[in-house]
Structure 1
Amino acid sequence: MPSSLSPQEAWGLLKAGNDRFVEGSVDHPHQDAGWRAALAESQSPHAVIFGCADSRLAAEIIFDVGLGDVFVIRTAGQVIDDAVLGSLQFAIEEIDVPLIIILGHDNCGAVTAAVESMETSVMPKGFMRSLVERIMPSVMAARSKGVTDVNGTVKEHTDQTVHRVVDTSYAVAQAVADGKTAVMGITYSLSDGTVQIGDILGPVEA
C-alpha cells in the first residue's frame, strides 16, 4: 500500500524525529511486537534514506522512526551503483515512496580518501579505488567552488548525489517531474545529531 503522505508531510515527520533525537526526547515509535506483526504482509514507508554505511549514521535512530517507516539504502560515501539505482526504482515504482533523502555526514572516511587522493595523486588499492573514483567528481566540483576541506566536500558530494540520482534514474526523475516525490540532500553532524539541508529537487520546502 503506497504512503498517503505528501513529500512535505514526509519531511515534516523526519524533521520532527530528528528534533526529538537532538533534544534527547525520542519516542522510539513503531518498534513493538504488534506493529511488527502488522507489517508482515506489506510495507508503506514514507521515505527512502540513501546514506553512508558509517556505523554512526543509523537512519532509523537519528530520525526517531521504526519498523516500516523508512526504506534504507546504504553504501560507503553514499556511492551510487546499479544496485542502488534498482533499489530506488523499486521504492518509487512499487511502493510509491514520496521522499528520497540523500544522507551524508561530516568526517566521512570515503570522502576523506577521495580528497587525499586528489591531493596526493595516489589512488587507493583494491575495491576502495572504486569508491574513490565515484566520489572524485564531487571532489572536483567542490574544488571548482574553492572548497578543499573534507566537510565542505561532503556537503558538495551530498548535493551532487541529489542531482545524479535524478539525472540517472528515469523512475525518480519522472516522479519528481510529476510532483509525487522530492529528493533532498542532508548532511548530518556526528557530534550534535543535527542535520543541514542542502539541495532539494521536487515539492518540499525546508
Structure 2
Amino acid sequence: MCEVCTASGQGRRAFLALAAVGLFSARTPAAEPAAQAGAGPDAALARLQAGNAAFVAAPALCAAQLGEQRARLAMHQAPWASIVACADSRVPPELLFGGLGLGQLFVVRNAGHLPDAATLGSLEYGCSVLGVPLIVVLGHERCGAVAAACAVVQDNARFPGFIGPLVDAIVPAARAVIDQPGDFVDNAVRENARRTAHAIATRSAAMAQAVAAGELRVVAAYYDLDTGQVDFL
C-alpha cells in the first residue's frame, strides 16, 4: 500500500504520529539530523522492511498529495535512509520500499551499484550534511551488469566503450564466488552488494567514523524481481 494513501482513512492517526516525531516534518540541512529525530539506523531499517512487506503483500501506486509534498520540500530535505541501487528500470527504490513519497529516500544509482567517487561523495553528503543514519546497497536478481562480469570470468567476454571498465569493476566479486554452489550470477549479485557496502563503510573516512560512532549503519540487500521481496544480507 502506498505510504501516502495510508495517511487517509484509518491510517490517518498513524501518519500524524509519525509526523509528531519529525519523520515527515520539514527541516533544513543544517537542522537536527534524522538520527536525532527518532529515525536512527535500526528504526530506518525496520521502516524499510515494513514498507517492502507492504509492497509484496499489496503493491499499489498513488500520486495523491505529491503537489503538497513538493511544495513542502522545495527548500530543504531530510531523508531518513540512503539507497545505493542499480540503474535497472525494474528496481525503483521508492516503490519497492512501500510507495514512499518525496524527500524520504536519498537515492544513488548506477549500473551494478558501484562505489565510485560520485557515489561515495553523494553518500558522504547524505551522511554528513543531511544526517542520514542508514545506507542500503541494493543488489537485485538477474542484474545485467553482474551477469556481464560473470561472462568475463567464465567465457573471457569483452565489452565495448565505457561498459568494459564498469563490468571489470564487478569481476572480482564474480571471481570470488565462481566455485560456490548455486546460481553463479545470483551468488555474484549478493557478493557484489556486500563488497560495495564494505567499500562505503571503509573507504570514506567520514562514513567510517560515523559507523564507528554508531551514527550510521551500512547494509547489503538483495531484491527478488519475481516476488518483490527484499532480503537484507
Structure 2 length as normaliser, TM-score?
0.80
Residues 35-74 of structure 1 mapped to structure 2, 5 A cutoff: 35-64=69-98, 65-74=100-109
- Structure 1 residue 148, shift from structure 2 partner: 6.0
| Moved >4 Å (runs of 4+) | 25-31, 144-148
- Structure 1 residue 35, shift from structure 2 partner: 2.0
> CA 1:15/1:27 → structure 2, altered by over 3 Å: closer, same or farther?
farther
Deviations 1:132-184 (A, max 9, x none): 11101111222365566111110111111111111211111111000001011
Partner of 1:15: 49
Deviations 1:98-141 (A, max 9, x none): 00000010100000000001111232121111111110111122
Aligned residues: 198
3-state SS of paired residue (1:76): coil
Contact in 2 for aligned 1:108/1:154 (Cα 8 Å): yes
Rg comparison, structure with higher value: 2
Structure-1 separation of matches of 2:65 and 2:165: 37
> CA 1:30/1:59 → structure 2, altered by over 3 Å: closer, same or farther?
farther
> Could you list the runs of 5+ residues in structure 2 that have no partner in the other structure?
1-30
> CA 1:19/1:28 → structure 2, altered by over 3 Å: closer, same or farther?
farther
> CA 1:9/1:178 → structure 2, altered by over 3 Å: closer, same or farther?
same
Deviations 1:50-84 (A, max 9, x none): 01000000000000211000000000011121111
> Could you list the runs of 5+ residues in structure 1 that have no partner in the other structure?
199-206
Structure-2 separation of matches of 1:8 and 1:30: 29
Structure 1 length as normaliser, TM-score?
0.90
Residues 1-206 of structure 1 mapped to structure 2, 5 A cutoff: 1=31, 2-3=33-34, 4=37, 5-24=39-58, 26=60, 28=62, 31-64=65-98, 65-143=100-178, 145=180, 149-198=184-233
Aligned alpha-carbon RMSD (Å): 1.8
- Structure 1 residue 16, shift from structure 2 partner: 1.0
Tell me which moved more, 26-35 or 181-190: 26-35
Structure with the bigger percentage of strand: 1
Identity over aligned pairs, percent: 39
Structure-1 separation of matches of 2:118 and 2:147: 24
Structure-1 separation of matches of 2:150 and 2:209: 33
Structure-2 separation of matches of 1:31 and 1:160: 38
3-state SS of paired residue (2:107): strand
Structure-1 separation of matches of 2:71 and 2:155: 53
Tell me which moved more, 174-183 or 136-145: 136-145
